[in-house]
Structure 1
């Protein structure tokens, strides 16, 4: 009787199961042959972004919608695999693509909980869905997913499937694959992650947005703890590892993207170049571009620019709070309100926005973007002190609700500062082959993407004078030629407009000066007289030997004071001619381009000084000009650079009218050229005494002090055809035998006569006409 009672229901259930099995079988027969080809899996070509590196293999930038680093399965640490299996599919290596035990378990769990709380998708099914299917929740899509999973298992090994999953899965923050996520969230490669970090990443596939540790740290922590319990239950980790991982304080990076060095301007230059060549494929094909930058040089240049700009900004005083935010008196909800108020306020090179909570002349308490409340007191208030005094007449005093900027000093203490308004640029290169070693196009790329190194056409001021003096050497002048530093009035026809009464920067006059001394002291009136003597057409033609554009220079005597236009990049190239012995070497910043498989697509072929480079100027000219510009550093307008304790540095300061542009253009002969510039985007005076020596030279010193540390001083060989003779410093003429004079270099054919040999010889080798003699004297 009992058996008969169960017979009918059992028969019904069996019939239903058999019917379902027949339907599944028939569907499989019909669907399986029409499933998509697995070529996307067997010939896996993930979208890998464009990546840009320094010469010494340091990543400086990447561009692409998907941030992805491909990791081969044998390079993935075992603990990472175990964390993924614990979180997603612990029976991965036992089932055949569909985990029937998992399906039954999930069905039972969902039935007892009264809803769809647990899924049964295997890693193989997720691979099928990620590569071929949508995420719509329909029965037909789920069935296709199952069929695809079976097909994938039939054609690929388990390790191949897991490798696809590890590299294809989306994990938030534009990161695809676990290798990328390790860098994005923790700034580490996979092999350096600990148990706590791997479990955090392994928890992301379930819902990357919900469990993102940057956006939702509390939810992410709960998910991580679940994964750790699963790893412990499956005996992937022992009790001690479990306890340590549960207690470990995760340090999740929130400043993405971040790279080991800051070279955003160069990254953008490369991106534009690659897009022009490969269009959209540049962002998905996994190209690797290696630049000529060196990490140590770029770090030094970046530091020099930031420090130089901030030092200038502090010299010119605090301008007051940026804005005022009306704060509620109730402390409840204040933090949330402040975070929302600061949401769109970006930081810049460590300068962070903050809202003042309380203020007095001795103490400021402020809420810093990100949640920290800081206290600033003592000397760290000195920069903004006049805006804190209760009796201050400043309309925008620092008070509760004031929006200010704060920065940590070298000792880790906060102080009030401000975002600078001035801009700066720095570029350095190897004069032997043109390789750009560092390039900083501005204070902060995120604030101002205008690349001042490449794009800013600015007046070079006195840093242009060496090209005039170099041209004069080819016209018969020598380093000993005497020229009068005296007042001069220039006719409007020679200036392109109006009567001109030029003056030296200091407003004084030194009378007759040697050629060498005049450049060392940057005497404007001597430079004008030299240009008058050698002629403007000749000079315009001569400067093209340095790669300078003659059309950007005024065809008037104002050219002698650098009234034309150049970029810092052009100046680096031009000064390289002096630095390498007279050769024109085109600059370059990319050494090679590789495809995703490491094949070389393009390789730079630099021009080398002394080999295949064009001889731009006489080697004797480059040598003598270098010795003069070394005097500029040793005892002239750039004498501040002697704090580096080197005898081999050469260069020239540059300051334009009203201190609108400040330059220092210098080099270590044979090895390194570096150019520093400071100015405002909308040209206006830098103020008072802000000359090239004050505003730009310190950046150059900061950079050179770091990159030349431990580098031996360079020794220049005297070129053939250069002779040394003792001269009278007052007349520029050779001393008689046994006379007390100073040594000077000359072209052999321009060796001056001895004292008393005539007016022509008094010019140190130049025998000028009466008209030219009048100009010089």
Structure 2
């Protein structure tokens, strides 16, 4: 006959029980009790069943799903955000303004832990989640009084209630809390339970956890509380509305004194402490910066209790003062807003992030972040174009034409300088330092828009990915952010190495700093990417810190004067709605934007000197009177050149300057000036129109260059004006070069006229394609245009 449950024969089970009953230790035990049997098979089965049920219950407590506990452990906390020096920038609120700060148990003073245990659960370390003695005592006390006068909830049961809150308070809820308390004890250590309890205790008034309570009621960090203040906190949790020291200091003091009556502190001390309680004014520094951190991919905000940033509050406040002063001064000019970004040049750490003049200024869109919003930067973009030009065969002494020029075809682009002047031949150094427009457009046309845009994408200008501004890109005609500008501008003082800006002092977060899409992050995190040659970057630094060559465009302005080497670049968008300034030293890089988020134009020509002055003052604040020099370019040597031709100075050159010349340069870079002779100055033929705009000394070497039609450009598109008689439909054609003094003009192969120098003629045009040709001696050239 078999046991249906186990499938084992009954006589086998009996033998097993008899073998166990006759074990040596049991025989000795029976002898001690006079030889009577102790464990019969029935008793053994009973105890086995009990042990099995106990183990089963323990396994349930230990391993059964408890998602509410997991949820509590993973719930968001109020992140404390610090600046680089440990000063609090913000303590982030959670939903509905709730503050819940987390502090590890070892950072909560032991006497505070003891006070809460004394107040809520004296036998916390002695029981396993349920205090049966307290339950028995509470039962008889409440029964004798006919009402609830005593509770028996342990700290573990209170934590269970926090984990799974319920509006009802009945026997079933109590049983569930008791079981959950046992589950907690089976899964967590006492320290873990106490840590969760103290950090999630509800104190009312949008406050949870002892750390937030210490700050909210006594304006202190938890580590700075004394015993009396801690006792006041311990009684608040019993009934927040009754014992809140902010509204009921007497009730709070009396209850805390009763809790700590053996501590040696008098009732007067408790009353004085309760009356001194006052609400904490939460700091609200750098709101746009904090928002930027919260929007980062895998942002640590609300997931970390403490977050250390690279921001320096002292510098942030200085930037706020300078910007608000400038906005107040120029308010009548409709200059209503601004933004400032400062980074450490060497490391890329963000030191200051000021998104607007006033975050709470709704009238002027103060919550819009001027560091990240897209604006036209104007000429402040030019350094990147000139750096690419240096890497495309140009040099600091290359001569660029600053003359009337037209670019484009159907849509002609005729750039103008900000002062409406043409300076003729200018050296590349002068063109960049003085921020001349026409040479910049000329360079972009020579290099190509595609090549320049590709380089800008490499150095972090992601906002340009879909932009198509044409040649106006040379003058900052596309919208970019101040963040992108500062990030890219800082690479010049770093020998052309691109480094992404970051704001969190955390090695893991540094590795997650955003790189342009072209670069892949390695296992060691981001690294510096060489996007410009070292000598290119050093030449740009030298040019933009050159006070002498800046004079053509800006005079000898004190705005750019610092007691240490510093490079500046400013920019002004059309109608002055955006004015920008960038400044950099080997230590710091500053970007300042001013204007209006609404797009309104500024009244009057306030100019980019306003943000430039702020940038300079910030560098002075950061560096005082000291600073590192910019590094000199290697394989370059300063030699004396002609200031007009850019070639090595000759004996007839009236004005010379020193310039960096490549030691291993080609023959052209080592050629001596041939513009100046004993008989006077001779300009190349391409400067003919410019030369004749005014009475200038010297001559134009018209015969020194090949015959070329200067205007219009090949492929240009014109429109037939129906309001003008056909015989008056004419087009001005201009040519230069050639070996003779006269040139013949042809339209579609038919001779039209002859012109002596300068070669200019008004030729007739008709609708359709027109072929215009010019012949000079044995040379000829032609272009084809379209008339619609």
Structure 2 length normalisation: TM-score? 0.64
Q: Secondary structure at the match of 2:297?
A: helix
Q: Distance in 1 between matches of 2:371 and 2:545?
A: 25
Match of 1:502 among 416, 419, 424: 416
Report the equivalent of 2:280.
Answer: 253
Deviation at 1:80? Answer: 2.5
CA contact (8 A) 1:468 1:531 kept: yes
The match for 1:621 is 536
Q: Which structure has the bigger radius of gyration?
A: 2
Maintained 8 Å contact 2:661/2:669 = yes
User: Is 1:188 aligned with 2:220?
Assistant: yes
CA distance in 1, matches of 2:432, 2:709: 19
Q: Distance in 2 between matches of 1:120 and 1:693?
A: 73
Determine if the alignment matches structure 1 residue 580 to structure 2 residue 491: no
What's the offset of the Cα at 1:469? 2.7
Query: Out of 262, 277, 280, which is 2:286 matched to?
Result: 262
- With normalisation by structure 1, the TM-score equals 0.64
Q: Is the 8 A contact 1:428 1:675 kept in 2?
A: yes
1:661 and 2:693 equivalent?
no
Return the match for 2:203 from 168, 171, 174. Answer: 171
Tell me if structure 2 keeps the 8 A contact 1:666–1:673: yes
Q: Quick one: distance in 1 between partners of 2:539 and 2:260? A: 76
Distance 1:568 1:691 in 2: 18
The structure with higher relative contact order (CA 8 Å, sep 6+) is 1
How much has 1:662 moved relative to structure 2? 1.0
Q: Determine the structure 2 residue equivalent to 1:126.
A: 158
Q: Using the alignment, how far apart are the partners of 1:683 and 1:225 within structure 2?
A: 58
Q: Is the 8 A contact 1:593 1:601 kept in 2?
A: yes
* Alignment-derived partner of residue 247 in structure 2: 218
- Aligned with 2:323 (options 308, 316, 329): 308
1:674 aligned to which of 590, 605, 611: 590
Is 2:436 the counterpart of 1:523?
Answer: yes
CA offsets, 1:191-213, max 9 Å, x none?
11234542442233123466556
SS in 2 for 1:463: helix
Q: Greater CA deviation, 199-208 or 659-668?
A: 199-208
Distance 1:762 1:316 in 2: 48
Matching residue within 332, 336, 346 for 1:422 = 336
1:457 corresponds to: 374
CA distance in 2 between counterparts of 1:667 and 1:294 reads 18
Pair 164,515 (structure 1): closer, same or farther in 2 beyond 3 Å: closer
1:244 is displaced (CA, Å) by 4.8
> Could you list the runs of 5+ residues in structure 1 that have no partner in the other structure?
1-28, 276-281, 319-419, 595-599
CA RMSD for the aligned pairs?
Answer: 4.9
Q: Is the 8 A contact 2:585 2:630 kept in 1?
A: no
Report the Cα offset of residue 772 of structure 1. 11
Distance in 2 (CA, whole Å) between partners of 1:775 and 1:177 is 83
Distance 1:583 1:246, change over 3 A: closer
Per-residue deviation, 1:562: 1.7
- 2:535 and 2:348 map into 1 onto residues whose CA distance is 21
Contact 1:196–1:250 (Cα < 8 Å) also in 2: no
Q: Which residue number corresponds to residue 47 of structure 1? A: 75
Q: Distance in 1 between matches of 2:705 and 2:205?
A: 73
Structure 2 gaps, min length 5: 1-52, 516-520, 688-703, 711-734, 738-757, 759-788
Structure 2 partner of 1:754? 672
CA distance, structure 1, for counterparts of residue 585 and residue 74 of structure 2 = 46
Q: Pick from 260, 282, 295: which aligns with 2:311?
A: 295
Q: Deviations over 1:50-89 (max 9, x none)?
A: 7466666666565755754444545432442455356545
Q: Tell me, in whole angstroms, the C-alpha distance in 1 between the residues paired with 2:378 and 2:126.
A: 76
Q: Distance in 2 between matches of 1:534 and 1:468?
A: 9
Question: How many angstroms does 1:273 deviate by?
Answer: 1.5
- Native 8 Å contact 2:375 2:479 kept in 1: yes
Q: Deviations over 1:397-435 (max 9, x none)?
A: xxxxxxxxxxxxxxxxxxxxxxx9834333334455544
- 1:663 Cα shift? 0.7
Q: What are the superposed Cα offsets for residues 671-708 of structure 1, whole Å, 9 maximum, x if unpaired?
A: 433322122223121331332221x2244234323333
The residue number in structure 2 matching 1:742 is 657
Question: How far did 1:272 drift?
Answer: 4.7
